[in-house]
Amino acid sequence: MNTIKKHFFSFMIIIIIFPFALLSGCKKNSAQTKIFSNGYYSAEAKDFDSDGWKEFISIYVHNGRIITVEYNAKNASGFIKSWDLDYMRNMYINNRTYPSKYVREYTSALLVFQDPGHIDAVVGATRSYYLFTHLAEAVVEQARMGNRQIKIVELSPYKESSNP
């Protein structure tokens, strides 16, 4: 009889504690996944760079997560860098990458990691990596605060590092 009481008591403890363990895990998970306010957010460079391009990024947040990212650059007439075939050919010859390729890699990484700090540079597009991460950090901060105004970002000129 004593053994039955012990098993019954152990069974009751498990039944009482198990649901609390499940619920606490669910609560923690939902708090971790919803870190951004829903909506569209944008950031762009304050000025055109020395090559005549102005970088920009836009994200859409749904259910607290970034679900779309657009990153590119435009010239003064509004022409998009990824559409410039001459630029693409020249960049590919010198760097083995081009805007529409590295843009897909950077934007996909932001969708996966939800954090610009976890994105690696694409070989041959380190200047664009510098610009992308600075703009992505700005737009992610806008989404955390729920500020839907376009963030204008002062980008200092990128300088190639001699360090590997």
Question: Is residue 146's pLDDT more than 60?
Answer: yes
> 27-36, 53-62, 97-106: which has the minimum mean pLDDT?
27-36
Residue 12: per-residue pLDDT:
47
Beta bridge partners of 69: 59
User: Cβ(104)–Cβ(132) under 8 Å?
Assistant: no
Query: Who wins on pLDDT, 88 or 7?
Result: 88
Identify which has the larger pLDDT, 15 or 34.
34
Domain boundaries, the chain: 1-33, 39-153
* Diameter of the chain measured on Cα atoms: 88
Share of the chain above pLDDT 70, in %: 75
pTM of the model: 0.75
Q: For the CA atoms of the chain, what is the radius of gyration?
A: 24
Mean of per-residue pLDDT scores for the chain: 83
Residues 73-129: pLDDT tens digits? 999 999 999 999 999 999 999 999 989 999 999 999 999 999 999 999 999 999 999
> What CATH class is the domain 39-153?
alpha beta
Tokens 């650059």 sit at which residue?
A: 73
Check residue 23 and give its pLDDT: 41
**Structure confidence at residue 156 (pLDDT):** 81
Alpha-carbon span 80 to 75, nearest angstrom = 7
